[in-house]
Structure 1
Amino acid sequence: MTPVTSRDRPTRRQLTNQIKDSLRDLRNQLSMLNRQVGAHLDLKEVDLDCLDLISRHGPLSPTALARRAGLHPATMTGILDRLERAGWIARERDPADRRAVTLRALPDRGREVFGLYAGMNGAMDDLCAGYDEEQLKLLADFLRRSTDAGADATDKLAARG
Structure 2
Amino acid sequence: MSPVTSGNQRARRQLTTQIKDSVRDLRNQLSMLNRQVGTHLDLREVDLDCLDLISRHGPLSPTALARQAGVHPATVTGILDRLEQAGWVARERGPADRRAVTVRALPERGREVFALYAGMNGAMDDICAGYDEEQLKLLADFLRKTTEAGATATGDLAGRG
For normalisation by structure 1, the TM-score amounts to 0.94
Q: Per-residue displacement from partner, 1:42-75 (whole Å, max 9, x unpaired)? A: 0000000000000000000000000000000111
Query: Judging changes above 3 Å, is the alpha-carbon distance between structure 1 residues 124 and 10 closer, same or farther for their aligned structure 2 residues?
Result: farther
The 3-state SS of whatever aligns with 1:104 is strand
Partner of 2:83: 83
| Mapping for residues 80-159 of structure 1, pairs under 5 Å | 80-159=80-159
| Mapping for residues 63-78 of structure 1, pairs under 5 Å | 63-78=63-78
The 3-state SS of whatever aligns with 2:91 is strand
> What letter matches 2:20 in structure 1?
K
The 3-state SS of whatever aligns with 1:146 is helix
- 1:24 Cα deviation (Å)? 0.3
The 3-state SS of whatever aligns with 2:20 is helix
Distance 1:93 1:150 in 2: 34
Query: Judging changes above 3 Å, is the alpha-carbon distance between structure 1 residues 153 and 9 closer, same or farther for their aligned structure 2 residues?
Result: closer
Distance 1:8 1:141 in 2: 24
> What letter matches 2:25 in structure 1?
D
- 1:94 Cα deviation (Å)? 1.9
Report sequence identity in percent.
82
Distance 1:131 1:94 in 2: 45
- Give structure 2 stretches of 5+ with no counterpart: none
Query: Judging changes above 3 Å, is the alpha-carbon distance between structure 1 residues 8 and 142 closer, same or farther for their aligned structure 2 residues?
Result: closer
- 1:9 Cα deviation (Å)? 10
Partner of 2:29: 29
Distance 2:113 2:52 in 1: 9
Partner of 2:56: 56
Distance 1:35 1:144 in 2: 24
RMSD after superposition: 1.6
> What letter matches 1:149 in structure 2?
A
- 1:145 Cα deviation (Å)? 0.3
Partner of 2:40: 40
- 1:96 Cα deviation (Å)? 4.0
> What letter matches 1:106 in structure 2?
L
Per residue, is there more helix in 1 or in 2?
A: 2
The 3-state SS of whatever aligns with 2:102 is strand
